[in-house]
Amino acid sequence: MCTSIGASVRNLHNHGVFHSDLNCRNIMIDADERVWFIDFDKCEKRAPGAWKQANLDRLNRSLAKTAAGAENVHWHDANWADFLVGYANGSQIKG
C-alpha cells in the first residue's frame, strides 16, 4: 500500500498539484485500495521546483509524528522506503 500512496503523490506532483496540507490525515484509502486525497482548500498548481521535496518532507514528518502518538497507526522507516519506490515509479502513471 505504501508504494501505491507514493505513486499517487507522484501523480499529483507530475500534474503540478501542490497540496499545501499533505499529511497522513489527508490521504484516504478505500475498500478497493484506491488512494484519495482530501482537503484541497489551500492548494494550487505550480511549476516544477523544490516544493515537491518540501511536500514529501512534510508528509514524512507527519507520518512519523502520528505513528509516535497513536496506538492504531503502524508506521516504520521501511514504509517510507516503500513509499519512495512508489514515488519513483509513479512517474510512469498517465492521467
As annotated, the active-site residues are 21
At 18, is the secondary structure helix, strand, or coil?
A: strand
CA–CA gap between residue 21 and residue 36 (Å, rounded) = 14
**Cell numbers representing residue 7 in the block:** 505513486
**Beta strands, E only, 1-95:** 17-18, 27-29, 35-37, 44-45
